Amino acid sequence: MTIWCKVKASRYTAALLAGMIPALLFAREAEVPPTPMPSRIIRVDPANVRVIEHLRLSTEELLDENFKFFDSSVLAVVDPHRLPSEIGRSQLYLELVNNSKDEIAIDPNVTMAFFEGSTAIGLRHEWPMPGALYPGERVPMMFTGERFKKITEIKTDWQPAKRAALPGPRPQLKVTIEKTDAGIGGGTLNFTYRYQYKYVTVFGRVRNESRSTADDIRVWVSLYDAKNHLTGARYEELRVPPLKPGDSVPFQFDVKQHGANFARVEVVYDAESK
């Protein structure tokens, strides 16, 4: 009896060991490799990227921790009103004003949506914006497009703009108005419709009072009535050679007057230094 038990036990043990040895060998082969040293690379989620197409920053500006955009809250759209053209087409005139006391808006840009009641009115801006809008300056803007009776609401989306301290990058020019002449013009539309309009011939002079040569001189001429409302405006590029320091050139433009009779003339200019 004892011998049988020993034999059975030996067979059982042998069988058990025979089954465990491959498992032990497999376990040795499948040993987990040692844990590597922790990496010093820190992975973070990417930031939300905002692409500003119209604005280019220099390397110094990108690396400047104190760099800030121009505060668009000091820019304002004022005095929007409809001034029909000489043939009755709808035109919207308004002014863009820099209300900052000491900062210049570089390449200001704004997208506007216009409404007459709850109806969106499709209008487009006819003139380019100045490259620099100085404190207190008012630049006229004219919009044309769909017909409307009265714009009741304007939504503005100010695009990021750089800022600059006075005196700024613009060459210092002195623009003077020497004389104005009021007149009446007329024309014919489609050979049958005759129309008339009022206009003001503005005579002026631009003098370069900076130490650099001024080029690409542009002017925005505005007519104001006795109530200080915009009654007509015109944008023009002066076709003159580069203006050296101390030199001056005359200019003459006819500005159509679509509203009340004008009482004064104002000019905003822009230019590049060479």
Segment 197-221, tens digit of pLDDT: 999 999 999 999 999 999 999 999 9
Closest CA to 224 of 89, 77, 95, 125: 95
List the structure tokens of 126.
């006819």
Domain spans of the chain?
59-165, 173-273
Closest CA to 55 of 161, 168, 132, 170: 161
In this predicted structure, what is the pLDDT of residue 50?
60
Question: CB–CB of 90/84 below 8 Å?
Answer: yes
Domain 173-273: give its CATH architecture.
Sandwich (2.60)
Below-50 pLDDT ranges, the chain: 1-9, 12, 15-17
In this predicted structure, what is the pLDDT of residue 29?
55
In this predicted structure, what is the pLDDT of residue 35?
77
C-alpha span between 95 and 58 (Å, rounded): 30
The CATH topology of domain 59-165 is Immunoglobulin-like (2.60.40)
C-alpha span between 212 and 172 (Å, rounded): 9
Burial (CB < 10 A; 0-12, 13-18, 19+), residue 171, is buried
C-alpha span between 136 and 103 (Å, rounded): 10
- Could you check whether 59-165 and 173-273 share the same CATH topology? yes
